[in-house]
Every structure is written in structure tokens, then in C-alpha cells.
């Protein structure tokens, strides 16, 4: 597998080796090539994307046609067409816990439509981290699913964890119900629990797998990746 790059002469593009595999003649199934370096290059310089090229050679360095040896291309069945699997990591600024407010300073309201009531009981600030999203990579091999999941080999699922501090700032993505529950918890800590840190938005991923009849299926599974967290 080669990446096509522009040559210094500006004529024929040059070939940069990305990945190679040695495949027995009788093998059947999917072939996975690592094209990460090419994808990173295209992200920085989109106009330099001239594509990639696949060559098939024997051990005697004799070139073969990809279609002649059985490789399925864009003209094949939709479930067996080549595709690229990519992972995108969203940057997120961590939310800081609220600081102690001086008597001459005004407190910010967590929501404009819900004023913050006065809490006469003393509230001790927890030193834990605030509610936020954390990285979690799920490997299908570790789950014992590699025999029937073709691609991807895993995905970045993320998870939510942290404290829902009082008062709930806007960066904690709190619902109105969580605001009220947090206030009631301060008044009755033994009766009502604190608001919980949980996913507020999730996104799907596409998985290529074998079904019970050994057919290759490409299916989009809902609610697999945590996009944002909040206090609920």
C-alpha cells in the first residue's frame, strides 16, 4: 500500500510505502492496512491528497492484477467494498470546581431562569474532580469479540465521572432537575442523594461483523460514544 505524493519535478507523483502484508494464495477475508501517516498528512495539507495505491506482487516480484487474485473493489457488493476507519478525538477544556466566594462578591446563578436559594447549612467543598468526560478505549479483542467483529478493532467510547459541586456551574451541563435535587440534598443529605455525573449526549459508531449465517454486515449502533457529560 503506497501513498501518492507530489514529486519535486511536478510530473509523475512519487510513491511512499505505507504498509505491506504477505498473504497466502488460499486466504479469504478482509485485509487491514495502516494508513495513519497518510491521513495525518492530508489533515495538515488537504490539497496534497492524491490518494493511495495498492500493488500486488508475488515472491518473485511479478506484478499481479488486484481483481485477478480476487480482491473486491468498488464494483463489488456493498458489504464487501473497501472503507477507511478513522477516530476523532474532541478537545475538551476541563471544568474547574467553584471557588470560595467572598462576602462582597456576587454569586453567579447556574441557570438564568432558576435563582439560587440561600443555604444556611454549611457546605464543605469536596476536593474531588468535577463532572467531566474521560478517555476510555474499548478493545473488541479484550472483550472476546475479535472472531466475529471485523472492523474496527476497537473504539474510543469515553465515560463520565466526577463530582457535581454546589452551586452547579454552566460548565457542568446541569439540568433544572439536577439543580433542585442538589439544593434539596444540601437541606436533607440523608434523604436525597446528590446529582449524578452521567452522559448527556451520545453518538453512534459503525461496526462490520459476521452474523449467524456468516454474512458480512455493516451496521450503525446507536449511543456508543459519549460526546458530553453533565449533572443529572
Please report whether residue 113 resides in a domain.
no
Of the candidates 219, 206, 217, 220, the one whose C-alpha atom is nearest the C-alpha of residue 79 is 217
Please report whether residue 98 resides in a domain.
no
Q: What is the pLDDT of residues 98-124, one digit of tens each?
A: 555 455 554 444 444 455 454 443 444
Overall domain count for the chain: 2
State the pTM of this model: 0.49
Q: What is the pLDDT of residues 46-92, one digit of tens each?
A: 888 888 888 888 877 788 877 777 777 777 777 677 777 776 665 55
The answer on 142 and 226 residing in a single domain is yes
- Domain end among 62, 80, 98: 80
Please report whether residue 224 resides in a domain.
yes
The C-alpha cell of 73 is what?
473493489
Please report whether residue 146 resides in a domain.
yes
Please report whether residue 51 resides in a domain.
yes
Please report whether residue 181 resides in a domain.
yes
The answer on 75 and 136 residing in a single domain is no
Q: Which range marks the domain in which residue 192 is found?
A: 132-231
pLDDT at 226: 94
pLDDT at 159: 95
The C-alpha cell of 51 is what?
490518494
Please report whether residue 120 resides in a domain.
no
Please report whether residue 204 resides in a domain.
yes
Indicate the average pLDDT of the chain. Answer: 78
CATH number at residue 175: 2.10.90.10
Q: Has residue 161 got a pLDDT over 60?
A: yes
Amino acid at each position: 500500500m503506497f501513498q501518492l505524493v507530489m514529486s519535486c519535478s511536478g510530473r509523475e507523483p512519487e510513491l511512499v510505502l505505507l504498509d505491506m502484508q504477505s498473504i497466502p494464495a488460499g486466504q479469504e477475508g478482509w485485509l487491514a492496512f495502516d494508513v495513519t501517516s497518510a491521513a495525518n498528512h492530508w489533515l495538515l495539507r488537504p490539497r496534497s491528497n492524491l490518494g493511495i495505491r495498492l500493488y500486488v506482487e508475488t515472491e518473485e516480484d511479478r506484478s499481479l492484477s488486484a481483481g485477478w487474485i480476487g480482491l473486491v473493489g468498488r464494483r463489488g457488493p456493498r458489504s464487501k467494498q473497501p472503507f477507511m476507519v478513522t477516530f476523532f478525538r474532541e478537545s475538551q477544556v476541563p471544568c474547574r470546581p467553584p471557588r470560595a466566594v467572598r462576602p462582597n462578591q456576587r454569586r453567579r446563578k447556574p441557570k438564568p431562569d432558576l435563582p439560587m436559594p440561600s443555604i444556611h447549612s454549611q457546605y464543605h467543598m469536596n476536593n474531588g474532580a468535577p463532572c467531566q468526560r474521560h478517555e476510555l478505549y474499548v478493545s473488541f479483542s479484550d472483550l472476546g469479540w475479535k472472531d466475529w467483529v471485523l472492523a474496527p478493532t476497537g473504539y474510543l467510547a469515553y465515560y463520565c465521572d466526577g463530582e457535581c459541586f454546589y452551586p452547579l456551574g454552566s460548565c457542568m451541563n446541569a439540568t433544572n432537575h439536577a439543580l433542585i435535587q442538589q439544593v434539596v440534598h444540601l437541606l436533607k443529605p440523608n434523604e436525597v442523594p446528590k446529582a449524578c455525573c452521567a452522559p448527556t449526549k451520545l453518538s453512534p459508531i459503525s461496526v462490520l461483523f459476521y452474523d449467524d449465517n456468516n454474512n458480512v454486515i455493516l451496521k450503525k449502533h446507536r449511543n456508543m460514544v459519549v460526546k458530553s457529560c453533565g449533572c443529572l
